[in-house]
């Protein structure tokens, strides 16, 4: 058989996590599809071959500049997928974090004039496109350092047409001008902006009649999200906004049941959202309905931790119920200045009561499902985009165990090396 010349190859991995269980594994003994002494070869930004090192070597040839990475003694896995971020913002809110942990509730801070989401909106509106782009690049470079190669980016700190457009243009620009895989979400319905104080319905009208149609027409967003919560948007308002989104071709998502059971999970099922996110207080009935409707549950445990709450979403139960459970950072200046999916996995195992296999799917293939990219990313399969991490650990169980340690040594997205490489 003629051999194919490849651009990059990773060889000799102690454990290569494909996230594709083999068909012969009827007992489910290898749910992560681990290949020992594994290799993955890359051509034109895509995965060309995956398997035992000898089998991959038998299929490939080298050119002068083929990159060879020796993963001897290490773990290789798909790049992390972060399905819920608010990375486009200016300004940080560390004082609020401290205040919260001295007893001031998040929802009280939110209601003030110059703190909470509103303060981020003010800073973000003032920043010019180029400045905000540079800040966002910095946030994302931290995520890459922790192995994230695919992410969803929400707007929601503009809260008027012009500013939501600015934020989503930055997200789209990064999707088009970087090797990362990026999906974008309109979150015009994050909170009611200050200029519409006590005129909620007028803002909902603006979102419905102007913001959604124009954003959709210009191809700036893939999804349409609403924060359904007392103090943000009611169930009725949220439903209206999501339905108009659907008519305009935007797939619904919901910030659901984060601070209380506001019926967000049920709403997500009703509108057939691609995902419902947070779900800390979701009712059992809501979760059942989500399962029936095929809504992915996106859990964001670092947010719960940062809010100082004792109650975390019950990820273990959701897995048991048969829901597709994904994990994300929720990177934002209010509740999660956390770029690290490995840390999220630690939280999932410790506080969401998820088993390690579910947590690893949550950070890869299931997260890809939450943003409609499961055929492109999230597993190591021939033909998928070459998003691969080399971890300087000897087995996958160390991923949640090494809390806060950055063992991500090499990061490859669409075949491009973003961190590390042959000499890492």
Residue number with CB closer to Fe ion (154 or 385): 154
In whole angstroms, how close is the CB of 98 to ligand NIG at the nearest point? 15
Give residue 40's Cα distance to chain centre. Answer: 24
Residue with tokens 């399905």: 83
Residue among 172, 169, 168 at smallest CA distance from 181: 172
In whole angstroms, how close is the CB of 271 to ligand NIG at the nearest point? 18
Q: How far apart are CA 233 and CA 15, in angstroms?
A: 46
SS3 sequence, 291-354?
HHHCCEEEECHHHHHHCCCCCCCCHHHHHHHCCCEEECCCCECCCECCCCHHHHHHHHHHCCCC
Residue number with CB closer to Fe ion (74 or 86): 86
Residue number with CB closer to ligand NIG (120 or 366): 120
- State the binding partner of 120 from Fe ion, ligand NIG, none, CB within 5 to 8 A by kind: ligand NIG
- State the binding partner of 240 from ligand NIG, Fe ion, none, CB within 5 to 8 A by kind: none
Residue number with CB closer to ligand NIG (309 or 402): 309
CA distances from 287 to 257, 325, 353, 414 (A): 11, 11, 17, 35
In whole angstroms, how close is the CB of 120 to ligand NIG at the nearest point? 5
Question: Where do contacts with ligand NIG occur on this chain (CB under 6 A)?
Answer: 86, 117, 120, 227, 255, 258, 303, 330, 332-335
In whole angstroms, how close is the CB of 274 to ligand NIG at the nearest point? 17
- State the binding partner of 281 from Fe ion, ligand NIG, none, CB within 5 to 8 A by kind: none
- State the binding partner of 80 from ligand NIG, Fe ion, none, CB within 5 to 8 A by kind: none
- State the binding partner of 227 from ligand NIG, Fe ion, none, CB within 5 to 8 A by kind: ligand NIG
In whole angstroms, how close is the CB of 30 to ligand NIG at the nearest point? 35
In whole angstroms, how close is the CB of 60 to ligand NIG at the nearest point? 44
DSSP 106: H
Q: How far apart are CA 380 and CA 1, in angstroms?
A: 23
Q: How far apart are CA 421 and CA 424, in angstroms?
A: 5
The answer to whether the Cα torsion of 184, 185, 188, 192 is positive or negative is negative
In whole angstroms, how close is the CB of 298 to ligand NIG at the nearest point? 10
- State the binding partner of 389 from Fe ion, ligand NIG, none, CB within 5 to 8 A by kind: none
Q: How far apart are CA 389 and CA 177, in angstroms?
A: 21
Residue number with CB closer to ligand NIG (330 or 374): 330
Question: Where do contacts with Fe ion occur on this chain (CB under 5 A)?
Answer: 330
- State the binding partner of 362 from ligand NIG, Fe ion, none, CB within 5 to 8 A by kind: none
CA distances from 73 to 11, 16, 141, 214, 395 (A): 10, 11, 27, 52, 9
């Amino acid at each position: 058989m003629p051999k194919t010349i490849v651009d990059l190859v990773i060889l000799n991995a102690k454990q290569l996590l494909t996230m594709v269980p083999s068909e012969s594994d009827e007992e489910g003994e290898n749910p992560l599809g681990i290949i020992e002494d594994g290799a993955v070869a890359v051509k034109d930004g895509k995965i060309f071959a995956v398997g035992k090192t000898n089998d991959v070597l038998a299929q490939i040839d080298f050119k002068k500049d083929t990159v060879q990475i020796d993963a001897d003694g290490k773990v290789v896995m798909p790049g992390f997928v972060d399905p819920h971020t608010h990375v486009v913002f200016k300004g940080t809110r560390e004082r609020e974090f401290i205040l919260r942990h001295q007893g001031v509730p998040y929802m009280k801070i939110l209601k003030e004039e110059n703190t909470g989401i509103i303060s981020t909106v003010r800073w973000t509106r003032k920043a010019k496109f180029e400045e905000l782009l540079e800040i966002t690049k910095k946030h994302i470079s931290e995520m890459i350092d922790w192995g994230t190669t695919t992410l969803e980016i929400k707007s929601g700190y503009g809260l008027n047409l012009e500013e939501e457009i600015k934020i989503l243009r930055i997200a789209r620009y990064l999707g088009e001008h970087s090797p990362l895989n990026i999906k974008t979400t309109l979150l015009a319905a994050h909170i009611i902006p200050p200029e519409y104080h006590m005129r909620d319905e007028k803002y909902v009208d603006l979102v419905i009649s102007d913001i959604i149609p124009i954003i959709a027409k210009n191809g700036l967003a893939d999804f349409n999200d609403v924060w359904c919560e007392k103090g943000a948007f009611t169930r009725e308002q949220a439903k209206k906004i999501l339905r108009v989104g659907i008519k305009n071709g935007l797939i619904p998502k919901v910030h659901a049941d984060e601070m209380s059971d506001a019926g967000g999970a049920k709403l997500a099922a009703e509108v057939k959202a691609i995902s419902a996110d947070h779900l800390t207080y979701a009712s059992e009935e809501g979760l059942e309905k989500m399962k029936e409707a095929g809504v992915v549950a996106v859990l964001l445990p670092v947010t719960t931790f940062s809010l100082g709450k004792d109650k975390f979403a019950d990820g273990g139960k959701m897995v048991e119920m048969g829901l597709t459970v994904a994990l994300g950072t929720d990177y934002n200046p209010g509740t999660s200045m956390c770029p690290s999916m490995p840390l999220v996995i630690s939280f999932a195992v410790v506080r969401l009561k998820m088993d390690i296999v579910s947590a690893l799917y949550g950070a890869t293939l299931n997260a890809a499902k939450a943003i409609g990219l499961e055929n492109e990313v999230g597993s190591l399969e021939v033909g998928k985009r070459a998003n691969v991490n080399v971890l300087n650990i000897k087995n996958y169980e160390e991923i949640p165990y090494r809390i806060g340690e950055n063992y991500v040594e090499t990061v490859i997205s669409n075949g491009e090396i973003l961190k590390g490489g042959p000499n890492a």
